[in-house]
Structure 1
Amino acid sequence: MDRSVLWSPEAGALRDSGLARFARNCGFDPADYEALHTWSIADPGAFWSRLWDFAGVKGDKGSVALHRDPAAPMTGAQFFPEARLNVAETLLAGADPACAVIECDETGARAEHSAAALRAEVARIAHGLRAAGVGPGDRVGAVLPNRLECLVTHLASLAIGAVWTSCSPDFGTTGILDRIGQVQPRVLFVQPRVRYGGKEIDLTARLGDVAAQIKGLETLVTVGEGTPESPVPVTTWESFGSPGPLEFEPRRFDDPCYILYTSGTTGAPKAIVHRSGGVLLQKLKEHMLHGDVRPGDRFLWYTNTAWMMYHWVVASMGCGATLVLYDGAPVLKEAGGLDCGQLWRAVERERLTHLGISPKYLSTLMEQGYRPGDAQDLGSLRWLMSAGSPVSPQQYDWMYDAVKADMGFASISGGTEIMGCFLLGSPLHPVRRGRLTVKGLGMAVNVFDERGAPVRGRPGELVCTEPFPSMPATFWGPDGDARYRKSYFAERPEIWTHGDHATLYPDGSAEIHGRSDCTLNPGGVRIGTADIYNVCAQFPELEDCIVFGRPVEGDEEIVLCVKIAGQQAAGPDLAQAIRRRLRVECSPRHVPSAIYCVSDIPMTVNGKRVENAARSVVSGRAVANLGSLANADCLAEYASLTKRVPL
């Protein structure tokens, strides 16, 4: 018996799952995923054309599926050059008629919306945008929480051919301007008062500052109470637009639909322009085939509206699933401690089939000793998913013990840049402890060593060697094409180098070790940060930690900073235990030269550790973009680490 296998699909998956049905549709045995995947990257035009039909994409795909440029096989590739489609049309066509969307929040309030009601609101806002002069290619911005209004602006903007871009209300003024300010939206939707973590937050002044500094802004639309002081006309959500028919503007496959932003931890956030047809096909593929999302399913991903996972989960509507929006904190502070049950009560109440979370959230539940499967009825849950950073093997164990034994789990890895995944789950494959399940269909994923040769079973650079339709169109702004190519193709011409340190295994599964730009290199040996995080996750004394390299003469040493849970004390015994376990479970090279106790860990607003910021401060260098951090003040402590005696 293979002890690494934590879950195996039932035999019926080979008959009923979307992936199995698609395989048969294409002439493949569902049990032979390797053959299906090989075909999908050997003949990408045929694969994506079949997917278009299988997914029921609305529009005309034309007679050409892929035009290849021999001189630029990736950057010059063009999918469906004759196609005409509209992303919103396909998503709304698939929406569940009786219950397209459910809204719920941290107070326990909820509301249901039929597909007809959703379409009527989208039509009203689309009319308002057209009346405001917004046309195809113009930008529409949103600084809104994860509620119906944000979804409506999203779909209405796409319906008229505009480009939608968003920030979450938890971004500061600088963070919003560094992102949305780049692309100069003509209309900006904002909510001046929001609730998070049991607190009412007034953003009126902040949003007024934003409106005053965005060039080209013509209209500010407010949702709910509060009116920012604005140099541009302000109108309310209720008075914006008018009832009428919903009309969809046909768009070319490569016309832009979204602009998303990189985290901005190594400089100003890059504004990534996404292609309409590319992101639609990619997301439908990942939901229908890899996530086995079916009509009647219910899908909630805990996310803010700036993260790509928001855009990603919205596409589940196109598969016939009910989209469940959650607004608020996933864990609430109470007099007696933390309430960890918010999302799990939603699983029980809404009969969710799919729930998406993050490794950081899992760590919090583990630290609190919370067991969702004991507290709630999770019988409806078929799939649990995670993104944002690697999931540790210990977290796999915990999920199958404390959540549910008979569910699939998918750790997915891709990025904002591709609006999708290179590695993700499968309803036809077992879940292996600490592993990502399969390479995505249509994604020619490989791992190259320092020679540029493909390797299996040992770490290297994650690459993609064949074109795929959700590659970005460009970066917004001057020299956008050049900056885009420099980011992903400079190291290996016409081969996408993603920036992840990874291992592919002979069985097709994979492991992500961390970002390549954060890879540790003591003594010239490359070490992924995830290996160290996985060991540290085994210590209940640690609430969180961060690891980075500190330059020393002619080399680099590993520094580990730990945040202690609760009122526990940190001392040499804990540091020694961490070092001992790293030496045994990883290697002597993984053992930190210094371990420090800190009060907080630098994070982006999306909850990702920012190793580069900590490393820069400790090394005496300026941090490129403090506005991307949710808690930049904590870096002051890191500036003085070298003067302290480590544990």
Structure 2
Amino acid sequence: MLPPFIDPISRNILWQPSEKLIADANITRFAKLNGFAGAPYETLHRWSIGRPEEFWSALWDFVGVKGEKGSIALERQPGKTMLGAKWFPEASLNFAENLLQGPDDALAIIEANEDGIVRRVTMGQLRQRVSQAQQALRKLGVTRGDRVGAILPNNLDALVALLATASLGAIWSSCSPDFGAAGIIDRIGQIQPKVVIAATSYRYNNKLFEVSDRLNTVIKGMAGVEHLVLTTPSTAYKNDSNASVHSWEDICNVPAQPLSFEQCPFNHPLYIMYTSGTTGLPKGIVHSAGGTLLQHYKEHVLHGDVKPGDTLSWYTNTAWMMYHWVISGLAAGAAILLYDGAAMVKRDDRLDMGILWKIAEEAGVTHFGINPKYLSTLMESNYIVGQRHDMSRLRSVLSAGAPVSPEQYDWVYSSIKSDMIFASISGGTEIIGCFVLGSPIHPVRRGEITCKGLGMAVDVFDDRNASVIGVKGDLVCTQPFPSAPLTFWGENGDQRYRDTYFSQREDTWTHGDLAEQTINGTVIIYGRTDTTLKPGGVRIGTAEIYRVVESYPWVQDSIVFGHAVPGDEEIVLCLVMKEGQELTADRIGALRAAIREQASPRHVPHHITAVRGIPYTLSGKKVEGAVRSVVSGKEIKNLGSIANPDCLEDFANLFAEAA
């Protein structure tokens, strides 16, 4: 007898949009206006990548970008598809002007910290503050093309400074104040900022951290800094540099004037952001004002269904791409929640696991962004969000930074809210946006990213450069998109940029993710290809092993990497055990059996051992490559990119202690 037929289209569906949600969605209205009423998403997507100049021009009109569009949407270099493409070469706009639209009385910012909501700021009040900051930066000599560096927490001052910088046509680059001096110098020091805006202290996990000495080291270690502006009052900061020191409060204490906005070309630099860079200096990725704005408009308005009156939040710091992503929600008419603090706060007698949800409840957050590690911690602690907090306004939860396991999908719908969109999104700092993400008109399938982004010609190629479905391969993009980097900052920036993304496949962007596209049109991300395991020559994603390991309550953290042996590669799994727990032979055996059963025999680690800590980048990502280098006896050239480099000592003699 044949087995019962299981419809692959409906399998693993956790949520379906209602007919009303689909009818009211921004993307439905956009499709109708462009002649695709009633057409499936796949048709709209094929149009968006087959005629990208029509799609992005239509998006400009639909969202109402403030600026001059010009008559040309896309110019291609002869004989090239992606390389050398120029978007809207006749256009002019200002990024900040597009974020500072809206009625004076509309809610724009909700500022919060570990004690809760600090204040609410209307759009009129925000414009006033940006006007004052704009005047202050002008007095310091900041003009179009100058670089402004920031070492600031995620608060109102940081956002005001960013918008004031962008309003002048200057270039913004930021780090979080918890970065070490070397990490900041390696990043912002590359771009020789004229002005640095910094905090001399910050609070995290109920503690005050004074960083005046570190800041002095940073300013002395940077070339070209003319002015240092301090946002926090400090008697501890002793200036030992050539920079003039100012108080942010003092220089912004001027009457507000009507804002002016420097109109710049579409491809004018807006942000310089940085890769994690553990093998050398972090790469300074230069992003354009127009490309960033249009990509974020698309992702918020069409894919996120963000509408005026919504409230967006993302747990992030000012160094991560998601900070820049979420603040662009202002352009869609939404309010932005800025939170400065720990995701889980140590109180005197307990761990406050619900601080983010308490603030989201009070703020009426509609779109809540977080990372999979946070979801995993809530799962392990059985923190049932929906029972503890009123999530009636919540319409979507989003996750980025690492693959989301199928079990985490289950938990989101059982423990947060059953009727909402859960969107795992994936792209990165390199494109300041997403290749694959969510949608208000698609079902959510367990363990799968919902769809390819409109205007993004995403595919999965094998080693023959052939598109494959149901098989793991390289995530690629085959058509130009506006938010591609302008260049890498510094000497030979264009060549370094091409070498990074186009050396593997000529004129095709190879992103560096191991991925699979399914028959449903969804995508599964298995991890970075530079950390892909290859035992017996078969490519294996680390996410498949992490998924199993993280289900064990006695595991605090873990890291997986490949160790070269003659003619092959062995998988190594290192575990941080929870307090009071030991890695016994029985537990090692249970782990191996579970990985064999839930993944495959090829996934089973050759070595499983305990370590005291797992290395993370300053932006909170595991650094498998650094561990692999240490184990192989190679030098890590940029320890400043690792938040906790001391833990690498455990890996130096790993195989002498391996189980």
Q: TM-score, normalised by structure 2?
A: 0.96
Q: Note closer, same or farther for the CA distance 1:505–1:95 as it changes in structure 2 (3 Å cut).
A: farther
Deviations 1:165-206 (A, max 9, x none): 000011000000000000011111101011000100001111
Q: For residue 488 of structure 1, what is the aligned residue in structure 2?
A: 501
Query: Equivalents in 1 of 2:55, 2:41: separation in Å?
Result: 14
Structure 1 residue 104, shift from structure 2 partner:
0.6
CA contact (8 A) 2:104 2:125 kept: no
Query: Equivalents in 1 of 2:585, 2:414: separation in Å?
Result: 32
Does 2:318 match 1:310? no
Deviations 1:70-121 (A, max 9, x none): 2232121111000000010011114773311010110224201111111111
CA contact (8 A) 2:117 2:359 kept: no
AA in 1 matched with 2:238? E
Structure 1 residue 245, shift from structure 2 partner:
2.0
Deviations 1:336-369 (A, max 9, x none): 4421101110121111101000011111112222
Aligned counterpart for 1:105 among listed residues 93, 108, 113: 113
Q: How many residues align?
A: 646
Q: Note closer, same or farther for the CA distance 1:96–1:289 as it changes in structure 2 (3 Å cut).
A: farther
Does 2:347 match 1:347? no
Query: Equivalents in 1 of 2:557, 2:438: separation in Å?
Result: 27
Q: For residue 621 of structure 2, what is the aligned residue in structure 1?
A: 608
Does 2:232 match 1:224? yes
Q: For residue 185 of structure 1, what is the aligned residue in structure 2?
A: 193
Query: Equivalents in 1 of 2:152, 2:136: separation in Å?
Result: 18
AA in 1 matched with 2:571? I
Query: Equivalents in 1 of 2:276, 2:604: separation in Å?
Result: 29
Q: For residue 624 of structure 1, what is the aligned residue in structure 2?
A: 637
SS at match of 1:277: helix
Q: Note closer, same or farther for the CA distance 1:583–1:134 as it changes in structure 2 (3 Å cut).
A: same
Query: Equivalents in 1 of 2:613, 2:155: separation in Å?
Result: 30
Query: Equivalents in 2 of 1:283, 1:565: separation in Å?
Result: 40
Q: For residue 519 of structure 2, what is the aligned residue in structure 1?
A: 506
Structure 1 residue ranges without an equivalent (≥5): none
CA contact (8 A) 1:104 1:110 kept: yes
AA in 2 matched with 1:464? C
Q: For residue 41 of structure 2, what is the aligned residue in structure 1?
A: 33
1:562-601 correspondence runs (5 A): 562-601=575-614
Deviations 1:312-343 (A, max 9, x none): 00000111101110010010123544211011
Does 2:551 match 1:541? no
CA contact (8 A) 2:152 2:318 kept: yes
Aligned counterpart for 1:136 among listed residues 134, 144, 150: 144
| % identical aligned pairs | 54
AA in 1 matched with 2:394? L
Q: Which moved more, 1:329-338 or 1:169-178?
A: 329-338
Q: For residue 473 of structure 1, what is the aligned residue in structure 2?
A: 486
1:317-328 correspondence runs (5 A): 317-328=330-341
Q: Note closer, same or farther for the CA distance 1:618–1:498 as it changes in structure 2 (3 Å cut).
A: same
Does 2:124 match 1:116? yes
Q: Note closer, same or farther for the CA distance 1:119–1:590 as it changes in structure 2 (3 Å cut).
A: same
Aligned counterpart for 1:53 among listed residues 61, 74, 77: 61
Q: Note closer, same or farther for the CA distance 1:224–1:616 as it changes in structure 2 (3 Å cut).
A: same
Aligned counterpart for 1:149 among listed residues 140, 157, 180: 157
AA in 1 matched with 2:88? F
CA contact (8 A) 2:104 2:124 kept: no
Q: For residue 380 of structure 1, what is the aligned residue in structure 2?
A: 393
Structure 1 residue 566, shift from structure 2 partner:
3.2
Does 2:411 match 1:411? no
CA contact (8 A) 2:56 2:73 kept: yes
Aligned counterpart for 1:84 among listed residues 85, 92, 97: 92
Q: For residue 222 of structure 2, what is the aligned residue in structure 1?
A: 214
Structure 1 residue 29, shift from structure 2 partner:
2.9
Does 2:248 match 1:240? no
RMSD: 1.2
Query: Equivalents in 2 of 1:412, 1:536: separation in Å?
Result: 23
SS at match of 2:496: helix
Aligned counterpart for 1:298 among listed residues 300, 305, 311: 311
Q: For residue 43 of structure 1, what is the aligned residue in structure 2?
A: 51
CA contact (8 A) 1:397 1:433 kept: yes
Query: Equivalents in 2 of 1:98, 1:15: separation in Å?
Result: 26
Query: Equivalents in 2 of 1:96, 1:452: separation in Å?
Result: 53
CA contact (8 A) 1:519 1:528 kept: yes
Deviations 1:200-252 (A, max 9, x none): 00011111111112111011110122153232111101121433221000000
AA in 1 matched with 2:296? K
AA in 2 matched with 1:5? I
Query: Equivalents in 1 of 2:32, 2:546: separation in Å?
Result: 41
Structure 1 residue 426, shift from structure 2 partner:
0.4
Does 2:183 match 1:175? yes
Structure 1 residue 23, shift from structure 2 partner:
1.0
Does 2:274 match 1:274? no
Structure 2 residue ranges without an equivalent (≥5): 1-6
Deviations 1:346-403 (A, max 9, x none): 1211111010000111111122221111111111110000000001111111111111
CA contact (8 A) 1:543 1:563 kept: yes
Query: Equivalents in 1 of 2:286, 2:438: separation in Å?
Result: 26
Structure 1 residue 456, shift from structure 2 partner:
0.4
Structure 1 residue 30, shift from structure 2 partner:
4.8
Q: For residue 445 of structure 2, what is the aligned residue in structure 1?
A: 432
AA in 1 matched with 2:225? L
Query: Equivalents in 1 of 2:461, 2:11: separation in Å?
Result: 29
Q: For residue 400 of structure 1, what is the aligned residue in structure 2?
A: 413
Query: Equivalents in 2 of 1:312, 1:503: separation in Å?
Result: 25
AA in 1 matched with 2:545? I
Q: Which moved more, 1:264-273 or 1:246-255?
A: 264-273
CA contact (8 A) 1:13 1:20 kept: no
Query: Equivalents in 2 of 1:267, 1:435: separation in Å?
Result: 33
SS at match of 2:609: strand
1:154-165 correspondence runs (5 A): 154-165=162-173
AA in 1 matched with 2:178? D
Aligned counterpart for 1:75 among listed residues 68, 72, 83: 83
Q: For residue 359 of structure 1, what is the aligned residue in structure 2?
A: 372
Q: Note closer, same or farther for the CA distance 1:300–1:76 as it changes in structure 2 (3 Å cut).
A: same
Structure 1 residue 538, shift from structure 2 partner:
1.8
Deviations 1:46-73 (A, max 9, x none): 0000000111110000010111112232
Structure 1 residue 31, shift from structure 2 partner:
5.0
Q: Note closer, same or farther for the CA distance 1:55–1:94 as it changes in structure 2 (3 Å cut).
A: farther
Q: Note closer, same or farther for the CA distance 1:3–1:338 as it changes in structure 2 (3 Å cut).
A: farther
SS at match of 1:620: coil
Deviations 1:7-57 (A, max 9, x none): 111111221111111111111135510000000000000000000011111
Query: Equivalents in 2 of 1:17, 1:578: separation in Å?
Result: 45
SS at match of 2:579: coil
Query: Equivalents in 2 of 1:133, 1:335: separation in Å?
Result: 47
Query: Equivalents in 1 of 2:297, 2:104: separation in Å?
Result: 15
CA contact (8 A) 2:206 2:347 kept: no
Query: Equivalents in 1 of 2:380, 2:157: separation in Å?
Result: 35
CA contact (8 A) 2:513 2:525 kept: yes
SS at match of 2:447: coil
Aligned counterpart for 2:534 among listed residues 515, 521, 543: 521
CA contact (8 A) 1:19 1:30 kept: no
Q: Note closer, same or farther for the CA distance 1:631–1:572 as it changes in structure 2 (3 Å cut).
A: same
